[in-house]
């Protein structure tokens, strides 16, 4: 855990990761490789960035994190029911802080053309190909028919953004 408080002049950004590996890859992509926290600079912006792994922790554990942060960045990869329940709970807690800037990113592996969701009727995990979004599909488990969403629309509707 970092020791920076909101009183520091350097902005403190907490990165909340919901899937193993995506937080580390994100930090590496902004020049903070091999560590859970570090300094980030871009033009005149300088800030402190620290990773918090929500797949290892209960979403309720982010309360102390929010008190110290100047901004929150939420990283999502999988949209299955178990992952989304955790995202929803964390989003509810983060959203309760009205003046805390927050952003959510959907991250994928390079070249990845499909994403994971859960059937709204039975919870069966399903892989949706990007080019199938907007088409009708059937769940192989319960046989219910539904329209295949885009990853962004599925996340937005689940969180009611």
Structure confidence by residue, pLDDT tens digits, 85-133: 889 999 999 998 889 999 999 998 889 999 999 998 999 999 999 999 9
Mutual angle of helices 81-95 and 151-159, in 10-degree steps: 60
Collect all residues with Cβ–Cβ distance below 8 Å to 150 and sequence separation of at least 6. 130, 133, 134
Average model confidence (pLDDT) across the chain: 87
The Cα 86–Cα 66 span in angstroms is: 16
Residue 44 pLDDT > 80: no
- Picking from 125, 103, 140, 107, the residue whose alpha carbon sits closest to that of residue 14 is 103
pLDDT of residue 58: 76
Q: Which domains does the chain have, with CATH numbers?
A: 1-107 (3.40.50.300), 111-161 (no CATH)
């Amino acid at each position: 855990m970092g020791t920076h408080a909101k009183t520091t002049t350097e902005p403190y950004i907490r990165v909340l990761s919901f899937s193993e590996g995506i937080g580390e890859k994100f930090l590496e992509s902004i020049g903070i490789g091999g560590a859970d926290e570090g300094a980030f600079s871009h033009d005149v912006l300088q800030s402190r960035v620290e990773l918090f792994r929500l797949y290892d922790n209960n979403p309720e554990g982010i309360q102390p994190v929010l008190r110290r942060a100047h901004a929150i960045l939420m990283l999502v990869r999988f949209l299955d029911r178990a992952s989304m329940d955790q995202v929803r709970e964390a989003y509810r807690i983060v959203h309760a802080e009205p003046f805390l800037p927050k952003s959510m990113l959907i991250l994928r592996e390079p070249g990845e053309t499909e994403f994971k969701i859960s059937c709204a009727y039975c919870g069966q995990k399903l892989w949706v190909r990007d080019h199938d979004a907007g088409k009708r599909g059937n769940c192989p488990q319960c046989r219910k028919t539904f329209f295949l969403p885009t990853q962004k629309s599925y996340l937005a509707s689940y969180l009611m953004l």
